[in-house]
């Protein structure tokens, strides 16, 4: 295993670094990485950024907004939060298994007397409150799993920075983010610093692994900065242009997440654009699913015809063709 630790707190650099680790170091070697970002909102690949953030609060407080490679929901990072990344073989994976990589985190916390549970699609919780959100990206037989660990984050800022979908509030029965999140530090009997916690976590994860510490070379840093400047720090990647749409359908589906479909139609009901947003996960690029509907008339018969050619669950985890059709036809 290769272990790499980022010395940067810049979210655009760190997301480019993650892709570098996945594309270059992770092609053959298993990798583990710990990193932190300064105040940032990290948006899931499939999300509509403008609907996920409190734009005025973000601007006023100079919070970075960055989009990651993986699906799932928006998360808030600050220097009280620790991020972890695993890269390993996924040649036999036909679907995302987020719980597998969460288990070492929960097990490490148990050594500190903290009983953590893996909950829902992608959360790790303590006493029913979330402290860790997780997501995955799969490509060419390799998997990248990354997650957050809120150790001593500013939970009031978390609450104000993120706009929470009404679907999530209703489904979870909570009135605010603040009531359903927690910091790990609040549950450790003998107080420790985040640095001490990081070292305990690192020792636990790597104790049975033969690993080499990887130091970035100048050429690596140049390549990462190029990727940062051309992709992760750009407006097009982080915000993009939300399409004008004439039809909007939104649904929360158990075990899949929030799914929002925006369609633009021309005269005669011909679909000219379709974008699919949400906090869902998926192996295949959801944009390619939406593209299959372009040029078709917006009716149930055509929806069925398009869906007969694909498996929706490849694009939106745990969603059947029938469920997707039901949303389209509602």
- Domain parsing of the chain, residue ranges: 2-238, 247-329
Q: What is the pLDDT of residue 106?
A: 93
**pLDDT bucket at 172, cuts 50 / 70 / 90:** very low
**pLDDT higher for 121 or 139?**
139
Q: Is 80 exceeded by the pLDDT of residue 163?
A: no
Q: What gap in Å lies between CA 305 and CA 286, rounded to an integer?
A: 18
SS3 4: strand
CATH fold for domain 247-329: Enolase-like; domain 1 (3.30.390)
- Residue 91's Cβ-count burial label (10 Å; 0-12, 13-18, 19+) is exposed
CB neighbours of residue 320 within 10 Å: 15
The answer to whether the CB of 57 falls within 8 A of the CB of 160 is yes
Which of 193, 183, 148 lies closest to 40 in space, CA to CA? 148
DSSP string over 149-189: EESS--HHHHHHHBPPPHHHHHHHT-S-SGGGB--GGGG-S
Residue 145 tokens, joined = 């799993």
Tell me what the mean pLDDT of segment 157-167 comes to. 75
Q: Is 60 exceeded by the pLDDT of residue 330?
A: yes
The answer to whether the CB of 96 falls within 8 A of the CB of 283 is yes
What pLDDT, in 10s, does the model give residues 6-50?
A: 999 999 999 999 999 999 987 888 999 999 999 999 999 999 888
Q: What is the pLDDT of residue 239?
A: 86
What pLDDT, in 10s, does the model give residues 60-102?
A: 999 999 999 999 989 999 999 999 999 988 766 556 677 788 8
Q: Which CATH number fits domain 2-238: 3.40.710.10, 3.30.930.10, 3.40.190.10, 3.30.2090.10?
A: 3.30.930.10
Q: What is the pLDDT of residue 23?
A: 94
**pLDDT bucket at 252, cuts 50 / 70 / 90:** very high
The answer to whether the CB of 188 falls within 8 A of the CB of 113 is yes
Per cent of the chain over pLDDT 90 is 63
Q: What is the pLDDT of residue 76?
A: 94
Q: What gap in Å lies between CA 18 and CA 66, rounded to an integer?
A: 13
* Ramachandran category for residue 306: left, alpha or beta (phi over 0 → left; psi -120 to 50 → alpha): alpha
What pLDDT, in 10s, does the model give residues 283-303?
A: 899 999 999 999 998 889 999
Chain mean pLDDT for the chain: 88
Per cent of the chain over pLDDT 70 is 92
Q: Is 80 exceeded by the pLDDT of residue 178?
A: no
Cα angle at 59 between 17 and 235, to 5 degrees?
A: 45
Which of 238, 247, 76 lies closest to 148 in space, CA to CA? 76
What pLDDT, in 10s, does the model give residues 215-249?
A: 999 999 999 999 999 999 999 899 876 666 788 88
Q: What is the pLDDT of residue 91?
A: 63
Q: Is 80 exceeded by the pLDDT of residue 274?
A: yes
Tell me what the mean pLDDT of segment 105-122 comes to. 90
What residues does 311 pair with on adjacent strands? none
Residue 254 tokens, joined = 């158990």
Q: Is 60 exceeded by the pLDDT of residue 142?
A: yes
Q: What is the pLDDT of residue 171?
A: 41
How long, in residues, is the chain?
330
HEC states along 129-150? EEEEEEEEEEECCEEEEEEEEE
Whole-number Cα distances in Å, 28 to 23, 88, 199, 203, 239 = 10, 8, 26, 23, 33
**pLDDT bucket at 208, cuts 50 / 70 / 90:** confident
**pLDDT bucket at 179, cuts 50 / 70 / 90:** low
Residue 64 tokens, joined = 């970075």
Cα angle at 77 between 25 and 17, to 5 degrees?
A: 20
């Amino acid at each position: 295993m290769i272990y790499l630790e980022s010395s940067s707190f810049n979210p655009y650099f760190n997301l480019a670094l993650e892709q570098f680790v996945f594309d270059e170091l992770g092609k053959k070697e298993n990798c583990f990485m710990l990193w932190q970002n300064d105040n940032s909102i990290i948006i899931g690949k499939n999300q509509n950024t403008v609907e996920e953030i409190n734009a005025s609060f973000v601007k006023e407080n100079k919070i970075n907004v960055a989009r990651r490679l993986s699906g799932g929901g928006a998360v808030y990072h600050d220097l009280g939060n620790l991020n972890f990344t695993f890269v390993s073989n996924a040649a036999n994976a036909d679907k995302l298994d987020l719980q597998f990589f969460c288990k070492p985190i929960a097990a490490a916390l148990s050594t500190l007397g903290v009983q953590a549970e893996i909950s829902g699609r992608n959360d790790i919780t303590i006493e029913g409150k979330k402290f860790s959100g997780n997501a995955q990206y799969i490509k060419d037989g390799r998997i990248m799993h990354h997650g957050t660990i809120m150790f001593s984050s500013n939970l009031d800022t978390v609450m104000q920075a993120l706009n929470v979908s009404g679907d999530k509030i209703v489904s979870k029965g909570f009135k605010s983010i603040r009531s359903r999140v927690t910091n790990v530090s609040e549950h450790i009997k003998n107080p420790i610093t985040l640095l001490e916690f990081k070292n305990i976590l690192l020792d636990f994860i790597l104790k049975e692994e033969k690993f080499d510490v990887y130091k970035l070379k100048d050429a690596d840093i140049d390549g990462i900065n190029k990727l940062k400047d051309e992709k992760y720090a750009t407006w097009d990647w982080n915000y993009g242009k939300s399409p004008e749409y004439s039809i909007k359908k939104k649904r929360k589906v158990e075990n899949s997440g929030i799914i929002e479909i925006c369609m633009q139609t021309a005269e005669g009901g011909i679909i000219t654009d379709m974008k699919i947003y949400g906090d869902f996960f998926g192996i295949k690029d959801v944009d390619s699913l939406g593209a299959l509907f372009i040029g078709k008339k917006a009716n149930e018969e055509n929806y069925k015809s398009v869906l007969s050619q694909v498996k929706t669950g490849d694009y939106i985890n745990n969603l059947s063709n029938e469920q997707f059709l039901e949303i389209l036809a509602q």
